């Protein structure tokens, strides 16, 4: 099987490629990325032990010409490339639209013109639901994104779903991703709290802290995506393992770093919540604590 991954050098791409390259059904992986993020840790480390051939193409999601030529002969396309959400900032709304909406439109059109592609997988976000208003959402819940990021991801979903009568399409709505890998993002709240607690001795909480978030561990997300390839399915799925309020998260981090100071900013603000129905068999209460402990072991220094 020949797999094409957009945005494959990013945080999710790092774990996905590492896992995929060790799957015996994968012949080759083409990573298409414009290297817009400053981190290039994807390219360094121990030599890859996987069997699959890895190829890298530096290219932009908006470059339909280049994507079209690069896509030829691939069986599966995994679309990870995105302008990701930046908490408390909507400063460049057009960029979300440009990349997540129109970039996905470009990719969809090129996939449509590439007969070898049998399965298109899109990593969307639970942010398309907007506010869960105290309930746990499922894939049948109404979508009402509250942010420019969420709106752009929902528009991206429409471009992908348009192809559903031609090939298998999977829309995977991911929760907030956390956990260590060398391409880690620190704008994810769990990662930020852990980094700040370990190195700065303080974390910042915006709003009341009662807002809930759904979370998924980076390694689990990579495995879910691979499972989607293996079962060759179609449809919309939520990928989430844990629901925690920000205050719950503070308690978890405090348990690991008891001396951490908590700075509460804009406490008058009630922030929106996104909680998602979770298969309880797949996530246990202690599991989240165990994953944070494992995360902590990756810090080179404990200051």
- Should residue 94 be labelled a site residue for other proteins when binding is judged by CB under 8 A? yes
- Should residue 298 be labelled a site residue for other proteins when binding is judged by CB under 8 A? no
| Distance of closest approach, residue 149 Cβ to other proteins, in angstroms | 17
- Should residue 79 be labelled a site residue for other proteins when binding is judged by CB under 8 A? no
Q: Which is nearer to other proteins, 119 or 159 (CB)?
A: 159
- The dihedral formed by the CA atoms of 96, 101, 107 and 108, expressed in degrees to the nearest 10: 160
- Should residue 234 be labelled a site residue for other proteins when binding is judged by CB under 8 A? no
**In sequence order, what are the beta bridge partners of 76?**
3, 119
The piece of 77-85, 154-162, 270-278, 291-299 that touches other proteins (CB under 8 A) is: 154-162
The piece of 37-45, 83-91, 158-166, 227-235 that touches other proteins (CB under 8 A) is: 158-166
Q: Which is nearer to other proteins, 19 or 109 (CB)?
A: 109
Q: Which is nearer to other proteins, 45 or 115 (CB)?
A: 115
- Should residue 33 be labelled a site residue for other proteins when binding is judged by CB under 8 A? no
Q: Please state, in angstroms and rounded to a whole number, the distance separating the CA atoms of residues 159 and 194.
A: 36
- Should residue 64 be labelled a site residue for other proteins when binding is judged by CB under 8 A? yes
Q: Please state, in angstroms and rounded to a whole number, the distance separating the CA atoms of residues 54 and 66.
A: 18
**In sequence order, what are the beta bridge partners of 172?**
123, 237
The DSSP-derived string for 47-109 is PP--SSEEEEEE--TT-HHHHHHHHTT-SEEEE---PPP-TT--TTHHHHIIIIIIIHHHHHH
Q: Please state, in angstroms and rounded to a whole number, the distance separating the CA atoms of residues 227 and 135.
A: 28
Q: Which is nearer to other proteins, 61 or 250 (CB)?
A: 61
Instruction: Please count the residues of this chain forming the interface with other proteins, following the rule CB under 8 A.
Output: 19
- Should residue 162 be labelled a site residue for other proteins when binding is judged by CB under 8 A? yes
Helix (H) or strand (E) holding 120: strand 119-125
Q: Please state, in angstroms and rounded to a whole number, the distance separating the CA atoms of residues 44 and 7.
A: 17
Contacts with other proteins by CB under 8 A lie at 60, 62-66, 94-95, 98, 102-103, 105-106, 109, 155, 158-159, 161-162
């Amino acid at each position: 099987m020949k797999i094409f991954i957009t945005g494959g050098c990013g945080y999710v791409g790092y774990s996905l490629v590492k896992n995929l390259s060790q799957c015996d059904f994968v012949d080759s992986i083409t990573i298409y990325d414009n290297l817009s993020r400053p981190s290039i840790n994807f390219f360094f480390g121990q030599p890859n032990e996987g069997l699959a051939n890895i190829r890298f193409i530096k290219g932009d999601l908006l470059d339909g010409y280049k994507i079209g030529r690069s896509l030829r002969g691939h069986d599966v396309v995994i679309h990870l490339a995105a302008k990701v959400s930046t908490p408390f900032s909507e400063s460049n709304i057009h960029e979300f639209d440009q990349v997540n909406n129109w970039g996905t439109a470009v990719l969809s059109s090129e996939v449509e013109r590439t007969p070898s592609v049998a399965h298109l997988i899109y990593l969307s976000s639970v942010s398309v639901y907007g506010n869960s208003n105290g309930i746990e959402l499922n894939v049948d819940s109404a979508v009402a994104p509250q942010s420019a990021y969420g709106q752009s991801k929902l528009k991206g979903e429409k471009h992908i779903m348009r192809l559903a009568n031609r090939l298998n399409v999977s829309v995977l709505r991911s929760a907030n991703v956390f956990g260590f890998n060398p391409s880690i993002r620190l704008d994810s709240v769990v990662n930020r709290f852990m980094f700040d607690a370990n190195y700065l001795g303080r974390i910042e909480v915006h709003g009341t802290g009662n807002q809930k978030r759904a979370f998924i561990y980076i390694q689990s997300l990579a495995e879910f995506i691979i499972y989607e390839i293996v079962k060759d399915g179609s449809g919309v799925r939520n990928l989430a393992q844990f629901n925690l309020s920000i205050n719950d998260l503070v308690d978890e981090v405090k348990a690991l770093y008891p001396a951490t100071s908590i700075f509460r900013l804009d406490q008058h603000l009630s922030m929106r919540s996104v909680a998602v129905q979770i298969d309880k068999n797949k996530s246990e209460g202690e599991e989240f604590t165990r994953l944070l402990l494992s995360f902590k072991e990756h810090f080179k220094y404990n200051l």
